[in-house]
Amino acid sequence: MFTLKGSPILVALFGTSLDDKYYIICIYMGIKEVESMQGYIDIHSHILPGVDDGARDMNQTRHMLQLAYQEGIRFMIATPHYEIGCSNMEITKLREVFEQVSLEAHKINKDFQIALGNELFFSMGIIEALQRGEALTIAGTRYILVEFEPNVSYRKIQESLHHCVLEGYIPILAHVERYFCLVEQPNYVEKLIGEGAYIQMNLSSIRGGITNTKANFCKKLLRQELVHFMGTDSHDTAARAPHAKETVDYLVKKYGEASVQQLLWDNPMRMLENKHL
């Protein structure tokens, strides 16, 4: 989101679990002064080829990366789906695919960075999968991206995210606008935040007229400052492409550049540094 200058600092590490001793330094950047809005951090994407319902092959991944860069995204976190009982790619193979995608990003621009995590479908056993290193936190931090079925009850969301917090993780609720119980009762979102969860919203869900229930819900949360992260949740180059710029321009006009900076740069950076917001 910004042009950064100055001495090098470490901004991201990734590993397989909280106890993992194998950390890879994946990004060095300089920071001295913030100039103007130049790019964004996308914390939710499905750009790894042949891993889940996202990019089908490396050719589509390349096109997604190119489009994301054109849209102003300078850092993407690959968050392939992980669900207990499903065919999840083995972690060694997943890292190999991730490294290949990172090389493709660097071909576009040497400063275009990719980090690795999972979008975790919460169910019994997901914490144990994290602890075994079979499922991933975001870039080796304590942060985890968590999703549920759209028709999940508020009680299920609340109890599940609370369990994550008790186990030492920092849960981010993925695409908050998808859960009917929250759209119907927006005050529940504030309760979740009060219990230690953070909120992620999809950029594509924000635009819409006054009759668009989902868009109205999103705008209400943004006005009340109940959103911490934005993401493209991109899966392809068509209906679920990594578009950002048009919505970001709208957000800047509606809520101000400082708010957009926080959502698309400051908060993700603190996440990557494994700090609370």
User: Could you identify the residue written with the tokens 């493709």?
Assistant: 104
Check residue 196 and give its pLDDT: 97
pLDDT in tens, 195-243: 999 999 999 999 876 668 999 999 999 999 999 999 999 999 998 999 9
For the chain, domain boundaries: 2-272
Low-confidence ranges of the chain (pLDDT < 70): 1-38, 209-211
Q: Record the tokens describing residue 88, joined without a space.
A: 């999840």
In our burial notation (b when 16+ CB lie closer than 10 A, e otherwise), range 125-164 reads ebbebbbebbbbbbbbbbbbbbbbeeebebeebbebbeeb
pLDDT in tens, 109-140: 999 999 999 999 999 999 999 999 999 999 99
pTM here is 0.86
The CATH number for 2-272, chosen from 3.40.50.1370, 3.20.20.140, 3.30.160.100, 3.40.50.1100, is 3.20.20.140
Check residue 208 and give its pLDDT: 72
DSSP, collapsed to helix, strand or coil, labels residue 88 as coil
Check residue 243 and give its pLDDT: 95
What gap in Å lies between CA 118 and CA 163, rounded to an integer?
A: 18
Check residue 207 and give its pLDDT: 80
User: Could you identify the residue written with the tokens 């900076």?
Assistant: 261
Check residue 214 and give its pLDDT: 93
Q: Where are the alpha helices (DSSP H) in the chain?
A: 58-70, 91-108, 126-132, 154-166, 180-184, 187-194, 213-223, 245-255, 257-261, 267-272
Beta bridge partner(s), residue 215: none
What gap in Å lies between CA 2 and CA 9, rounded to an integer?
A: 15
> Closest Cα to residue 137, out of 37, 254, 20?
20
Check residue 210 and give its pLDDT: 66
> Closest Cα to residue 82, out of 162, 137, 41?
137
Strands 81-82 and 119-121: parallel
What gap in Å lies between CA 123 and CA 226, rounded to an integer?
A: 25
